[in-house]
Structure 1
């Protein structure tokens, strides 16, 4: 049986991360929370739940948290990683679907249902735009490249060379994996946007970072 690591990148989600961990029906010693320099009690809450916690001393970015988790997975012999947001946006009950899908793909992305009614307008526009650009760069038709709910095989992690550290890392790994010939699939997921879950995306700065990444990818 293949060995999976459940990875939660976390930043200032102290009131939420405990509930997310409780809902993950998987051995706690195979759940890793990367506390990305939180200024609240995120790390303490996670440790109290008996999971593994690695802490960044400063906020390095979601992509950097992923890379820390990926290094841990490779070092400890995991076959694949399932990433899930720590703010309760993703339903942990969907993890078995990712475990099944990763038997057929090298990377599986959770595809959200985009609706003007249940998703903030800015997110809908950003998701549609970035998915279009990444689809062009990767040569694959993908509908939700910003979804943080994924399963990624170690073979992918070991081959890609990630240069970014923020939100654009989630797009970067797709483009590199596709260009290396890895199989990428999507499965539908449900999403909950909680009022108490504050987005850490800066619309201007993170858009500029994505544009820089997209332009640089043209020459890679």
Structure 2
């Protein structure tokens, strides 16, 4: 799949990284080989390992947060960077090698006609039988009840956002890169969302924080937030002055 500058919106990959010294280099080199014309920014989220040193040694552009803010804080930092540098599309992209850069052009193409595009593993495939996929089904159902729309892979972390959403996510409060935020933006901001099929790889190094217990509590928290908490949140008001 070829990508030519000028055929799509000005795009940047936002890559939050926390203690990813063993995977960040292979991830970025894959991005540079596959989509060299697409910009990227790494957000080093107060890592205690050598993530920042790897970025410096290789000359990767990165923002170095002095403390660990968590995924939501790192993501919003990247969104502020995208807004201030006038990007028209920002793509949430994992540092651990699970997201494959060859699917980025499909997200870039789809975002021209949508507000949010999700890289989905289940557009044309059935979900495997597992506790995690049971939780995914619960979140999918909660989004359907809340918005009337179906998202097959609501927990996918590979998401593209257009300029309007960049503005909202850069300056809004409590807008983490999670399914409840996507649902909220659909319901309160009229965000148009679509999914494009992608394949994801296994983590190249390190361990996921999502243990079976953490996965279960995450799925329950997201479901409750989508069905109930968002109705008590203020109307969208995160746009820059």
Please, what TM-score do these two structures have when normalized by structure 2? Answer: 0.79
Work out whether residues 46 and 64 of structure 2, in 8 Å CA contact, stay in contact via their aligned partners in 1.
Answer: yes
Q: For residue 15 of structure 1, what is the aligned residue in structure 2?
A: 22
* CA contact 1:137–1:218 (8 Å) conserved in 2: no
Return 5+ residue gaps in structure 2 as ranges: 1-5, 234-241
CA distance change for structure 1 residues 70 and 131 in 2, over 3 Å: closer, same or farther?
A: same
Closer/same/farther in 2, CA of residues 10 and 111 from structure 1, 3 Å limit = same
* Residue 39 (str. 1) matches residue 52 (str. 2): no
- Matched residues in 2 for 1:136 and 1:157: separation? 26
Shift of 1:27: 4.8
After TM superposition, list the pairs within 5 Å mapping 1:146-185 onto structure 2: 146-159=155-168, 161-165=172-176, 169-179=177-187, 180-185=189-194
CA distance in 2, matches of 1:36, 1:205: 23
Q: Deviations over 1:86-121 (max 9, x none)?
A: 11111111111111111121110011145438xxx3
Q: Distance in 1 between matches of 2:62 and 2:27?
A: 14
Pairing 1:79–2:88 present = yes
RMSD across aligned C-alpha pairs, in angstroms?
2.4
Task: Return 5+ residue gaps in structure 1 as ranges.
Answer: none
Per the TM alignment, residue 28 of structure 1 is displaced from its structure 2 partner at its CA by 8.0
Query: TM-score by structure 1 length?
Result: 0.85
Deviates further, 174-183 or 94-103: 174-183
DSSP-derived class of the 1:199 partner: coil
How far apart are 1:73 and its partner, in Å? 0.4
> How many residue pairs align between the two structures?
214
Is the counterpart of residue 206 in structure 1 residue 218 in structure 2?
yes
